[in-house]
Amino acid sequence: MNNFEFVLPTRIKFGEGICSELAEEIKAMGKQYPLIITDKGLVNAGIVKKITDYLDKKGLSQYTIFDGIEPNPRDITVKKAYEVACLCKADVLVAIGGGSSMDTAKAVGVLMTHGGEIGNYEGLDKIKRPIADLIAIPTTVGTGSEVTFWSVITDTKRHFKMSIGSPLVAPKLALVDPALVENLPPGIIASTGMDALTHAIEGYTCTVSEPITDACGIYAIKMIAENLREAVHGSSKEAKANLLLGSLIAGICFGNSDIAGVHCMAEALGGLYDTPHGIANAILLPHVMEYNFISNIEKFAGIADAMGEKTQHMSKRDAAYQAVAAVKKLNQDLNIPTLKEIGAKESDIAELAKRSSVNVSVDSNPRKVGEKEFKGIFEKAFCA
Ligand SMILES: [Fe+2]
């Protein structure tokens, strides 16, 4: 067994109504000027007010709301939010939303203690000091960003999603409240749930996985696969709560191991077409698995089992391939579109492959992959 290190800097509180404890948590940190980083959809849906009402009731009314977060957040949005943080003299950041809000808040937290431009910190471990205190409140069931060490921000000049990674970027506290995902639209549950499944599968199979991330990864795969269809098409509150927990555990998994080929390609797609992250992952996941499964038959067969496939009478190789079939079926049941349906162009394959090949996580893919192989996988995905 290889040596490994496992870090979880984020304190996690999970439960129905747990976000009502935000004011006490901010006070316990000795802070009083929160900047809430969120998006207009959550403001319009009343979710932000629900949380600020808790702050008002506890006499913590000197908060500021920045609601300018967009999908695939850009460096210029980070800069705008940072300027607001400076203006209101924020001493703590509260991210309410999906990965876009949380990743932006992490980046703002970096600028608050390091200054400069967010692009200066691209890559692994460029952050040398703690970032501003950050409390993450996830409202989707996918990113796991509430516990991860990564902030993914679009560089507007390069149309490239850059990754800023360090344990110092992780939120100080995650308040994970199933009440906030009860009314999520089915399309958002499908796309963010497939992002979570991708995190669990890539975190479990990548080259830097270790026993603790393996335990989290396989548990999360089972939990997500068991609950995703019902959470999208049914009305079960429990299925949505389980997905939220599955997404969190998948975050703990890939946060300590890594993502791999699917995310390399999905981030290239998102950088070029602004494709929602979860949709991009869902489209590419079965194709990358089809390329990768031969690299670790045992683990891919385990994924098929965790996803409820009946593999007892199959050879190990067939059982491993069954994991690919299970993800294809899931995509169909969730009405995930194809590459053509999202407007991707075959004439962009060479560019997409090139961008995928410079992702920081390329070497974590379980089977050796480069520009040529990414091109081949994109070509296959276009035929689906
Ligand atoms: Fe992701």
Per-residue pLDDT of 142-192, as tens digits, reads: 999 999 999 999 999 988 889 899 999 999 999 999 999 999 999 999 999
CA distance 199 to 260: 9
Same domain, 326 and 220: yes
Q: Please check whether residue 283 lies inside any domain of the structure.
A: yes
Considering the chain, what is the average pLDDT of its residues? 96
- The answer to whether position 204 is within a domain reads yes
Exposure letters 153-184 (e unless 16+ CB within 10 A, then b) = bbbeeeebbbbbbbbbbbbbbbbbbbbbbeeb
Please indicate, yes or no, whether residues 223 and 305 belong to a single structural domain of this protein.
Answer: yes
Helix/strand/coil (H/E/C) assignment for every residue in 268-322: HHHHHHCCCHHHHHHHHHHHHHHHHHHHCHHHHHHHHHHCCCCCCCCCHHHHHHH
pLDDT digits (tens, 9 = 90+) for 15-35: 999 999 999 999 999 999 999
Q: What is the pLDDT of residue 2?
A: 84
Give me ligand 1 centre to Cα 140, in Å: 12
CA distance linking residue 224 with residue 212, whole number of Å: 18
Task: Give one DSSP letter per residue of 91-120, joined into a string.
Answer: SEEEEEESHHHHHHHHHHHHHHHH-S-GGG
What pLDDT, in 10s, does the model give residues 317-326?
999 999 999 9
Q: 277 alpha carbon to ligand 1 midpoint, in Å?
A: 7
Joined together, the tokens standing for residue 151 give: 């902030």
Same domain? For 217 and 330 the reply is: yes
Judgement on whether residues 173 and 36 belong to the same structural domain of the protein: yes
Measure 31 CA to ligand 1 centroid, in angstroms: 31
Q: Separation of 227 CA from ligand 1 center, angstroms?
A: 19
Report CA dihedral (223, 277, 176, 52) to the nearest 10 degrees: -150
pLDDT band at 10 (very low <50, low <70, confident <90, very high): very high
Report how far residue 284's alpha carbon sits from residue 177's, in angstroms, rounded to the nearest whole number.
Answer: 30
Q: How far is the CA of 315 from the centre of ligand 1 (A)?
A: 31
Q: Specify the 3-state DSSP secondary structure of 163.
A: strand
What is the reported pLDDT for 294? 98
Looking at the structure, tell me whether residues 125 and 222 fall in a common domain: no
How many Å lie between the centroid of ligand 1 and the Cα of residue 259?
Answer: 8
Report the separation in Å between the CA atom of 321 and the middle of ligand 1, taken as the mean of its atom positions: 23
Nearest residue to 125 (alpha-carbon basis) of 171, 164, 155: 164
Lowest mean pLDDT among 107-111, 271-275, 310-314, 315-319: 271-275
Please give the distance, rounded to the nearest whole angstrom, from the Cα atom of residue 207 to the centre of ligand 1: 17
- CA of 143 from ligand 1 middle (Å) equals 6
Tens of pLDDT along 61-103? 999 999 999 988 999 999 999 999 999 999 999 999 999 999 9
Phi, psi of 152 (to 5 degrees): -110, 115
Over residues 341-354, the mean pLDDT reads 96
Query: If you count them, how many residues does the chain have?
Result: 384
Residue 241's pLDDT band, with cuts at 50, 70 and 90, is very high
In terms of residue numbers, what domain contains 19?
11-181
Residues 125 and 245 occupy one common structural domain: no
The pLDDT score that the predictor gives to residue 140 is 94
Say yes or no: 235 and 161 in one domain. no
Which residue type is seen at 119? G
Is residue 239 located within the same domain as residue 144? Answer: no
Whether residue 272 is contained in a domain is answered as yes
Q: Look up the CATH number of the domain holding residue 63.
A: 3.40.50.1970
Lookup result for tokens 């974590």? 364
Is there a domain that residue 315 lies in?
yes
Residues 178-236: pLDDT tens digits?
Answer: 999 999 999 999 999 999 999 999 999 999 999 999 999 999 999 999 999 999 999 89
Rounded Cα distance, 307 and 279, in Å = 20
pLDDT of residue 271: 86
Residue after which a domain boundary falls, among 158, 181, 204: 181
- In terms of domains, do 110 and 194 share one? no
- Cα 179 from chain centroid (whole Å): 20
What CATH number corresponds to the domain at position 242?
1.20.1090.10
Domain stop point among 181, 212, 240: 181
Distance (angstroms) between ligand 1 centre and the Cα of 162 equals: 13
Residues 301, 309: Cα–Cα separation, whole Å: 9
User: Which residues are paired to 153 by β-bridges?
Assistant: 162
Question: Is pTM, for the whole model, over 0.85?
Answer: yes
Cα separation, 134 vs 338, whole angstroms? 37
Question: Is 336 a residue whose pLDDT tops 90?
Answer: yes
CA of 198 to the centre of ligand 1 (A): 7
Q: What is the mean pLDDT of residues 247-252?
A: 98
- Does residue 3 fall inside a structural domain? no
CA–CA distance, 366 with 352 (Å, rounded to integer): 20
At 182 the three-state DSSP class reads: coil
pLDDT of 124 reads 87
Q: Is residue 5 part of a domain?
A: no
Q: How many Å lie between the centroid of ligand 1 and the Cα of residue 274?
A: 14
Vertex 54, ends 90 and 93: CA angle to 5°?
Answer: 20
Structural domain includes residue 148: yes
Where helices occur in 118-276 by DSSP H, the ranges are 186-205, 211-233, 237-256, 261-273
On whether both 197 and 332 belong to a single domain, the answer is yes
Same domain, 174 and 231: no
DSSP SS3 for 137? strand
Per-residue confidence (pLDDT) for residue 1, from 0 to 100? 78
Q: For residue 4, is it within any domain?
A: no
115 falls in which pLDDT band (50, 70, 90)?
Answer: very high
pLDDT score, position 360: 86
DSSP readout, 45-62?
TTHHHHHHHHHHHTT---
Residues 56 and 106 both lie in one domain: yes
User: Cα(59) to centroid of ligand 1, in Å?
Assistant: 37
C-alpha of residue 87 to centroid of ligand 1, in Å: 32
Q: How many domains does the chain have?
A: 2
pLDDT band at 384 (very low <50, low <70, confident <90, very high): confident
Helix (H, G, I), strand (E, B) or coil at 345: coil
Over range 273-297, report the average pLDDT.
96
Q: Which of 148, 181, 214 is the last residue of a domain?
A: 181
